Amino acid sequence: MSREHPGGGRTLRPAAKPLCRPARHDPPAPARASRLEAFCARRSRAILWAMIALYAAAFSAVCAIKVRYYLYTDFDLAIFAQATDGILRGTTFSSIRGMNWLGDHSSLILFLVAPLYALFRHPLTLLVVQSAALALGALPVAWLARRELGSAALALGFAALYLLDPAVGYTSLYEFHPEVLATPALLFAFFYLRAGRPGRMALAAGVALLCKEDVALVALMLALYALLQRPRQVRAAALLGGLAAASLALSFGVLKRLGSGEVDYGLMYSQWGASPRAVVASLLAHPLRALGAFFTSPGYSFDTVIKLQYYVQMLLPLAFLPLASPLTLALALPIVAEHMLSWRPPQHTILYHYAALATPFFVAAAVLGFRRVAGLARAGAVEHGPPRRARWLMLGALAASLAGNLMFGPLLGTGKLQLVRSEEKTAPTSLDRASARVADRMVAAVGRSGGIEAGFEFLLRFTGRSDVYSLHNVMQGKHTFSEKPYPVPTGIASALADMSHFRLRPYADAGTSRRLRELLRANRLGVVEEAGDLLRFARDARDTVDLVSVGTFTAARPRRIVFDRQLAFLGCDLADPVAHPGGLLPLATYWRRVTSTDSLFVVQLVVADAFGNAVLEHMRYLGYGFAPVADWPESVAVRENYRLILPDRMRPGNYTLGMRVGRRKDLGQKLSEADDPALRARGMFVELGRFEVRPGR
């Protein structure tokens, strides 16, 4: 394949006669390209480090905002923060995970992170380390592009593509995971492999293998890749294979034995078989079905769309260039298979951390694919800058990256080509700010000693303790990803949770209320503070807050509506028809269980303005989770007191409070049917009362 002329294929010839109009003084294309290339070559190090610093600072800032406003809604960050703090205290037991964390994942890299954590013992440290590590991945990307494409300008372009990659951004923002630290390490390993430097390659691969046990699969693929190179890199392949074998032996021969049934990730592949051996046998016996699982989920169209969008979201920001280097792209195959063969939809998206081990090879394949598509036959410096085709291709790739970020990016995304969006917000809403003030007050009131039972978003505040537990385990009665029963913890001095948090609600079942009451009884906990569904319990405290009462009640605005022939609504009282932005709206609702039920009833509270526009919607369990309808005495009135948290920026004016009632059984949830035909015509919307919002607090 012949190379194009440095000027893009055109030969400049002198004009035969002077032009009638004054000539433009723009330099010819080769000069412009040469000037750009010379500038990038001269300033490449400064520009590259500026890009790295900007990424690390920007994403660390977003992470800090998420921490401040309780926007981390899973327990992964809390687990690893407690684990790293525990290393400094000389223990590897995680009370949040309920096991020795080395028996969960082989996250040995935390021992190297611990000295940094010692400088500032706070979960934010892990988030800054994660953002900085991902940012540093731009170094090997730029080095690889410079080596393979011979252009400083193109090298900086690929560094920008990597830093702008939505998959990288989502990985940086979703909790903290040690395997994310393998992303830059694998990029370094691939670069050193291509550069023929096996020693440094082995060091980078070794660091990556410390992050998680499944990095060994990637290392084995890299070893195979080394053998397919010309000339073969036998020494590199041997080093990679030896490191991968040692990692597997350590992970599955030693570390996994530290657990005793608290985790069983084989459950993610239960549709293929009941044991690892059965899963492998099923995949081998049905290869076409296994191949189809990369793209479809038969009988589950929702998940099929998610899977297809995954490939678009991974490839579009790289202008589909990885497809031009299939051998490099194949290095990601074990990781993609690991996630696509699972039944869990979150693993089929870029929204979490599951793309962390695949991203390095999509980006590396984009560099090598670019060389092929641009017609750059060999590596080496480009004297006058990259050819015109390469320049236009890079501009197109940057445009595709920008388009991807605008459509489905973590910060600028509008939800295009994105059936599901991230569960965790990157900025607080007006309601989040109001809720955070309440949460801050409750956290400050928790004592300095004794165990703590907490909801996901509160765990981060207590990761320096050795006896903090996640409430979701009590709610579901099992260890996470395990069938092993979870014992109700003792020694709890405080409990703190949003009982209707959207991440906590799915863990509730028919036995949740019994387990929650056992938690309160065993630890002598009484509810001492509430706002919305945020509850704080303290040991040896009387229930000073009346949440759910049984007795003889008469509502100020009585009304009888029967839902699903099981639950009767009897009316509602608004204690104060005047509220303030960021304040609380007290209300009492009255109910009666008509007959037995095997469902959990949920209420969606809706606040609408004078024009009928919903300004606030809140889904919650009736009875706060530990006093569900199924446990109420039949044919006796029940009053539930509640204080709705209002958003900070709620405009003064008149509002209507209403509700819809639904019920949840197993994993299904549906709107309840009312016996009032007029309600059915209004979408089951029940008006509870009207109130006024006035300025001030």
Q: What is the pLDDT of residue 555?
A: 87
Summarize the confidence of residues 531-542 as an average pLDDT. 95
Q: Is the pLDDT of residue 401 over 80?
A: yes
Question: Cβ-count burial of 485 within 10 angstroms (0-12 exposed, 13-18 middle, 19+ buried)?
Answer: exposed
Say if CB 248 and CB 216 are below 8 A apart: yes
pLDDT in tens, 328-360: 999 999 999 999 999 999 999 999 999 999 999
* Mean pLDDT value of segment 155-162: 98
Instruction: Tell me how far apart the alpha carbons of residues 501 and 505 are, in angstroms, rounded to a whole number.
Output: 6
C-alpha distances out from residue 384 to 24, 36, 37, 40, 377, Å: 22, 9, 7, 12, 16
Q: Cβ distance 533 to 501 under 8 Å? A: yes
Whether 223 shows a pLDDT value over 90: the answer reads yes
| Alpha-carbon distance values, 86 to 364, 429, 480 (Å) | 36, 34, 20
Q: pLDDT band for position 33 (50/70/90)?
A: low
Cα(590)–Cα(642) distance, rounded to whole angstroms? 11
Q: Confidence band (pLDDT; 50, 70, 90) for 589?
A: very high
* Per-residue confidence band for 14, with pLDDT thresholds at 50, 70 and 90: very low
Quote the tokens at residue 256.
Answer: 């996994």
Residue-level pLDDT at 17? 45
Predicted pLDDT at 665: 82
Residues β-bridged to residue 242: none
What does the pLDDT look like over 355-368, one tens digit per residue? 999 999 999 999 99
* pLDDT at site 32: 63
pLDDT in tens, 100-115: 999 999 999 999 999 9
pLDDT at 31: 62
Q: How does residue 669 score in pLDDT terms, banded at 50, 70 and 90?
A: confident
Q: How far apart are CA 587 and CA 577, in angstroms?
A: 10
Report the CATH number of the 548-693 domain: 2.70.50.60
Strands 578-579, 686-693: pairing kind: parallel
Mean pLDDT computed over 510-525:
96
Q: What is the pLDDT of residue 448?
A: 87
Closest C-alpha to 183, from 162, 163, 208, 164 = 208
pLDDT tens track for 65-105: 999 999 999 999 999 999 999 999 999 999 999 999 999 99
What pLDDT sits at residue 59?
Answer: 98
Q: What is the chain's mean pLDDT, rounded?
A: 92
Span of 245-249, 541-545, 594-598 with lowest mean pLDDT: 541-545
Q: For position 381, what pLDDT does the model report?
A: 53
pLDDT tens readout for residues 618-648: 999 999 999 999 999 998 999 999 999 999 9
Residues 520, 514: Cα–Cα separation, whole Å:
10
For the chain, the domains span 31-183+289-408, 430-539, 548-693
Q: According to the model, what pLDDT value does residue 15 have?
A: 42
